[in-house]
Amino acid sequence: MPVDFFRQTVIRWNDPNPKYVPLLREGGITAVLTSPNESFEKACVAARIQVIHETEVQFVGLGDTAEARSGRAVVFRAGIWPGVHTPDRAVASATSGVWIDQNCYLVQCLRALYPNMPPVLGYLPNKEAGVPPERAVPFHTLELGLAEAWMSGGNFVMALEAWFRAALLKGAAEALAAWRKIGRTAGWLRENAAVFGQPIQSNITVLVENKDDSLEIANLAYRQNVSPALLAAANPPTPDPARCLELVAVGIEPPAADVRRRILANAEAGTTLVVDAPGDQAWWRAAGLTYLREDPDRKYYSLGKGQVVAYKEPVLDPSDLALDMIDYVTQSRRAARVFNCNAAVVMAGAAVLYIINYGRPRDLPVLARIQGSFTKAMLLRPEAPPQAVKVSRRGTSSEVTLPQLECAAAVIFG
């Protein structure tokens, strides 16, 4: 059977020296991916750290899953190093926000596209992941990578960036402090594993495919805190307009006949269907489609009890599309929202909010809102014991106040 490290805290470790085992334990590591070394392995076993040999794991790209062989654990060679970037002055505008690199969307995409494969990310701090040799990323970003993967329902095989590794092995105070925080967060994630990875609310559902345009639409939807449910385009949802208010089928290939019927059935039942296939590619045209109106970018049609919003041209700006998704359901019906923390990504399950702060810790109160009517809530954070927080009704949503937000938090509602 393949190695199962889905709920392990795993790190690649290319220096199998027994003297580093206490350091690994301090960082909350429960499994190391390394080359064989008898003395190192004995020390790891004594410290209750599982040793996984590199030959037991296969790293695959997003387009190489068909080549994955049974009997070996699969790790996806995909992802971007998480954190925030300063916007490019050449393209930034007065209204632009911080640029967040996050992989919450990617874990959700993998869950949708490959439901039989654990969504374990294995990107490295290299150019492909946005970390060229001239860039030294902050130490805390490794903690972000771990937190976002677990909270989205996956895992991350960690790897130390060269600057962090050198500072850590030298015993630099800042590096050791960051490493101990990783250990604290790792323990918190394992302790609350049952809380994480719950299905995302489906009021905005986005159909995805394994191609760049589609993946980027999902990426920006998460970055703009749309908090959409993601489903494979080949497996659209059963019509349920009470829960799925909006179904986004933008940037996908023309679907097969049976899939097309299932997508259109959502609009006929009362859901808003959003598409961008114009002209001869307009697979969404169907009997009963009635023109309503148009604006410079879209045409609006009725279909059964719902409507179809059709972009006149293929969508080129997924960030604008993400904001449009919110407009179609309105701000009052969006799944999740966060205030006073513009570098946060928030995701809403049925009765739980996941919040990840990619910027600096917030020492001021942070407001977080979830769609649904609740009367109580419990705040979970790595740095503090569970804390009951007051719930305030905001229309059809419920709002809580987090006294502060470091790296990550979860709010369980009831």
Are 103 and 80 in contact by the 8 Å Cβ rule? The answer is yes
Task: Give, as one character, the DSSP assignment of residue 331.
Answer: G
How far apart (Å, rounded) are the C-alpha atoms in residues 127 and 125? Answer: 7
Helices (H), 114-140: none
Q: Which pLDDT belongs to residue 92? A: 42
Q: Which pLDDT belongs to residue 66? A: 80
Q: Which pLDDT belongs to residue 97? A: 67
Instruction: Name the one residue in this structure whose structure tokens are 């007065």.
Output: 94
DSSP string, 163-229: HHHHHHHHT-HHHHHHHHHHHHHHHHHHHTGGGTTPPBP-SEEEEE-SSHHHHHHHHHHHHTT---E
How far apart (Å, rounded) are the C-alpha atoms in residues 231 and 206? Answer: 6
Residues 6+ apart with CB under 8 A from 167: 139, 174, 175
Residue 46, helix vs strand vs coil: helix
Q: Which pLDDT belongs to residue 95? A: 40
Q: Which pLDDT belongs to residue 86? A: 60
Could you list the mean pLDDT of each consecutive 10-residue stretch along the chain, which spans 414 residues? Answer: 78 94 97 95 96 91 82 90 71 58 97 94 95 91 98 97 94 97 98 97 97 96 98 97 97 96 98 94 95 97 98 96 97 96 96 96 94 98 97 97 97 98
Q: Please, what CATH class does the domain formed by 204-333 belong to? A: alpha beta
CA of residue 389 relative to chain centroid, distance: 25
DSSP string, 344-357: EEEEEBSSEEEEEE
- Cross-strand pairs, 359: none
How long is the chain? 414
- Cross-strand pairs, 60: 76
Q: Which pLDDT belongs to residue 195? A: 97
Domain extents for the chain? 10-195, 204-333, 336-413
Instruction: Name the one residue in this structure whose structure tokens are 């004594």.
Output: 46
| Predicted TM-score (pTM) of this structure | 0.94
Tokens of 327: 């407009």
- Cross-strand pairs, 240: none
Amino acid sitting at position 253: E
Q: Which pLDDT belongs to residue 90? A: 45
Q: Which pLDDT belongs to residue 136? A: 86
Q: Which pLDDT belongs to residue 7? A: 86
Tokens of 336: 């999740």
Are 206 and 221 in contact by the 8 Å Cβ rule? The answer is yes
How far apart (Å, rounded) are the C-alpha atoms in residues 239 and 404? Answer: 40
- The strand pair at 377-381 and 384-389 is best described as antiparallel
How far apart (Å, rounded) are the C-alpha atoms in residues 158 and 250? Answer: 33
Q: Which pLDDT belongs to residue 94? A: 39
How far apart (Å, rounded) are the C-alpha atoms in residues 194 and 410? Answer: 12
Closest by CA to 244, choosing from 313, 305, 163, 170, is: 305
Amino acid sitting at position 81: W
How far apart (Å, rounded) are the C-alpha atoms in residues 12 and 122? Answer: 9
Tokens of 31: 């499994």
Q: How far is CA 62 from CA 267, 271, 372, in A?
A: 31, 31, 35
Q: Per CATH, the architecture of 336-413 is what? A: Sandwich (2.60)
Instruction: Name the one residue in this structure whose structure tokens are 């020296």.
Output: 17
CA atoms within 13 A on the CB side of 66: 2
How far apart (Å, rounded) are the C-alpha atoms in residues 368 and 346? Answer: 8
Q: How many CB atoms lie within 10 A of CB 400?
A: 22
How far apart (Å, rounded) are the C-alpha atoms in residues 389 and 412? Answer: 10
